[in-house]
A and B are shown apart, each in its own frame.
Chain A
Amino acid sequence: MSRYEIRIGGFGGQGVVTMAVVLGETLSLIEKKFVVQTQSYGPEARGGASKSEIVVGDVEIDYPKVMEPDVFIALSRAAYLAYIKGLKENGVLIIDEDLVEIEGDLPNGVKVYKIPATRIAEQEVGSKQATNVVMLGVLCAITKIVTNEGLVQRIEERWPRFKESNLKALELGLKAGEAALAGQ
C-alpha cells in the first residue's frame, strides 16, 4: 500500500480532528505505518464545516494532504456538500444517516454505508461525545485499514479515565460497521 487517503468531515466540535488524531496515533505508533494527519477549519471554535484527513502508507508520504480520498466519512450535511467532491471511484462513503442524506451524483462504484453513529453514541454509550469513536469502529470494520487491537490499545493509553465508555463506543461501532458490511 503506497498511499491510502481518509477524509472525515463534520461540524467543528463533533470530534472530527480528534478522530483523525487517534487514528493517526494508532497507525503510526502502534502499527508502524507512515502517516500524515492534517486538518482544515475556519476561525470559529464551534460550528462551521471542519475536516480532518489522514494519508497512510508503507512508504514515506510525500504530499501530506488528501487528494482523492479512498474513504469519506461525513458527519454533517454542510461537510458532505463541501467535501464530497474528489471521492475516488469505487471509494467508500460512510455517513451518519440521521444527519446526512445522499445528494447529487456520486462517483462510479462508490459503496455507501449508512450508520446512525450519533444515535448509537447518545442512546447506547450515553454521550454524543462518543460519536467519533463509534465512527472509528465503523471505519475499522468496513475498511480494515486499522486493527481493532491497535485502536483498543491506543484508547486505553490515551483516555485512562474514559476508557470504558470509549471502548464500548468502539465495540458498538465495529458491530454497526460489520452489520452494514454484511448488508451490502
Chain B
Amino acid sequence: MPERIMFTMGDIASAEGALSAGCKYFGGYPITPATEIAEWMALRMPEVGGSFVQYEDEIASITSVIGASWTGVKSMTATSGPGVSLMLEAIGLAVMTETPLVLVNIMRGGPSTGQPTRGQQGDVMQAKWGSHGDYQIIALTPASVQEMFDQTVQAFNLSERYRVPVFVLADETVGHMRERLVIPDEKDLKIEYRKLATGDPADFLPFKPDDDLIPPMALLGSKYQFYATGLTHDYRGYPTDKEDVQLELVARLNNKILHNADKIIDLERFMLDDAEIAVVAYGTPSRSARKAIKEAREAGIKAGMLRLKTVWPFPEDALADLASEVKHIIVAEQNFGQVYYMVKAAAAPTPIHLMAKPAGMPQLPHEILDKIREIDSL
C-alpha cells in the first residue's frame, strides 16, 4: 500500500503499525484507554484477511495470541494495567515457550481499576517483573502518535527476532492524543519474521538454540512436531527437573535479550552535549521536559534530556555514561518512582532527583523548569 497520511490517535496508530508489520491476528478484551485499538482492529482485520476475536476476558485473549503465534501468524493483544494483571501468568508461558507476540499496554491510573480515563506510567515494573521467575522481556515507550506506529512495527520486529513477548508501554495521553501520522509505503518498511526450522524433521530439536541463542521455530501444522510446555524443558521440549537444563535454559532466556541490549535499546539525546543537569523521561512527561529544557536554555541553564524510547532491557550503560557527563539527574515519571530506582542503581553516585506524579496530568513544563532552576541554584 502506498504512503497514507492521517490525523489520528495513538491507539489507532499502534493498530496501523501492527497491520503494517504483518499482524494478522488480534485477540483481546476491550478496556479503557486501549479500546480504540480493538475497535480499529475489528474494522481493519477483515480488510487485510486477518482475524479479530473478542474473548470473554484477558486470560483467554493472551492465551489465544500465544496459540495463534505458534501457527506462524504474527499476533497481538492490547489492554491496560488491569488487563495485564490478568495476563501475567500467560506472559510467563510466552517467555518460556519463546513465543513472539506484541502486547500494547495503554497505561491508566492505578492501582486496581484506578482512573480508567486518566493516564499514568505505573506499569513499568509490572512489565518487567509481573510474571514469576527470572526472565527478560522488551518494552518500548513511545511519546507521540507517529512513534506509536513506528514502535509497534519495531515491537513486532523485535518479538520475531528474539522470540519474546514485546510490550508497547504508552501512557493514556499518548494513546488518546491525535496528531498527524504518516504511514510509509510498505516498500519502505523493514519487516522481520522469525527464523524457521529447516532440515530433517526426524532430527529436529525445537528448543536447541543456534549460536545467537535463539532456536529456529517450528510451526504448529508444519511437518515439524514440537511439544510446548511451561515446565523447564530440554532441547526436545520435554519437561525435566535436571539442574543443568534449568540453569542453561534460564540463562539463555535472559542472555538472548541482554547480549543484544545494544541492538534493542533506543534513546534520544536532547541538548545533552554540554548539559550539567539531565532530565530522564519517557512518554508524555518527556514532552513536558522538552519544553522545560528549551526554556531553561533560554534562561542560560545548561539542561538536557535523555529520553528513553525503550525501558526494558534497561539502558544501564547509557545511564552510567550520563552520570559521568552531568552534575545532576532528574527523573520525571508519571508514577511514584519506578525507572527512578533503575537510574539510581546505574548512575550512582551522581545525585538523582525524583519528580514523581502518580496522577492523570503529567509533570507540567513549568514544574520541571522550576525543578531545574532549584537544582541549578544548589
A residues lining the B interface (CB < 8 Å) = 21, 24-25, 28-29, 34-43, 61-65, 67
**Alpha-carbon gap, A67 to B361, bound state (A):** 11
Give the CA-CA distance A36 to B179 in the complex, in Å: 5
CA distance A36 to B291 in the complex (A): 15
Expressed in whole angstroms, the Cα–Cα distance for A61 and B291 within the complex equals 9
**Which among B5, B177, B178, B180 has the greatest number of chain A C-beta atoms within 10 A?**
B178
In contact, B365 and A37 (Cβ under 8 angstroms): no
Task: Among A35, A42, A62, point to the contact of B179 (Cβ < 8 A).
Answer: A35
Would you give the shortest CB distance from B133 to chain A, in whole angstroms?
36
Count of chain B residues with a beta carbon within 8 Å of a chain A beta carbon: 22
* Interfacial chain B residues near A61, Cβ < 8 Å: 179
For the residues of B in contact with A, the DSSP-based class is mixed
Chain B hits for A67, CB < 8 A: 364-366
Known: A38-B178, A63-B288. 10 other contacts (CB 8 A): A21-B7, A25-B7, A28-B179, A36-B177, A37-B7, A38-B176, A42-B117, A61-B179, A64-B173, A65-B173
B: residues with CB less than 8 A from A are 5, 7, 32, 116-117, 173, 176-180, 284, 287-288, 290-291, 294, 360-361, 364-366
Q: Is the CB of A63 within 8 A of B365?
A: yes
Given A21-B178, A37-B178, are A43 and B32 neighbors across the interface (CB < 8 Å)? yes
CA distance A39 to B173 in the complex (A): 9
Residue numbers in B under 8 Å from A28 (CB-CB)? 7, 179-180
User: CB < 8 Å: which of A25, A35, A42, A62 contacts B291?
Assistant: A62
A39: chain B residues within 8 A (beta carbon): 176
Whether A40 pairs with B117 at a CB distance below 8 angstroms is yes
Report the minimum CB–CB distance from B349 to chain A (whole Å).
31
CB atoms of A36 and B117 under 8 A apart:
no
Min CB–CB distance A64 → chain B (angstroms): 5
CB neighbours of B291 from chain A (8 A) = 62-63
Q: How far is the CA of A64 from the CA of B286 in the complex (A)?
A: 11
**Do B117 and A43 have beta carbons less than 8 Å apart?**
yes
Interchain nearest-CB distance for B96 vs A (Å):
37
A64-B284 contact given A28-B180, A36-B179, A42-B117, CB 8 Å threshold: yes
